[in-house]
Amino acid sequence: MKVWLDDRRPAPEGWTWVTTVTAAIDLLQAGDVEEISLDHDLGLIDASGREQTGYDVLLWIEEHVATVGMVPPKLAVHSANASAHERMQRAVEAIEKRLEDQKR
C-alpha cells in the first residue's frame, strides 16, 4: 500500500489518502505500507494545543526503527512549506542513516 498524508491535496491514483497523523501511524502499525509521502501542515491541533504534522509521523518512524527494528517504507516528503520540507528531509536522511548503521 502507498500512503499519502495530506489534509487538502487528494492522493494520486493508486495511493491511499489519509488526513491525520493517527491514521497514517495506524496504517504503518498494520505493516502493509510500502511507501509513504508526507505533507507537513495538516491543520490539526491535539488536545494539548500542539499542532500535529507530517514531521510527527517521521519522528514515530525513527523511534520505531531505533527501538523495535522497524523496517520503514520508502519515505517521501511533498510539503510545500519550504522550511518544514527541509526539516522533514533531514529526518528522512537520519532514518536512512540509522538503518545503514544497524546493518553494520
How does strand 35-38 pair with strand 2-5? parallel
State the total domains in the chain. Answer: 1
Which cell is 49 given?
A: 494545543
CATH of the domain at 43: 3.40.50
Q: Are 13 and 21 in contact (CB under 8 A)?
A: no
What's the pLDDT at 43?
A: 86
Integer angstrom CA distances of residue 37 from 19, 47, 94: 12, 25, 16
pLDDT tens by residue, 20-65: 999 999 999 999 999 999 999 998 787 788 889 999 999 999 999 9
Give the whole-angstrom CA distance, residue 84 versus residue 77: 10
Single pTM value for the model: 0.93
Give the whole-angstrom CA distance, residue 14 versus residue 3: 9
The helix/strand/coil state of 78 is coil
Domain around 97: 2-103
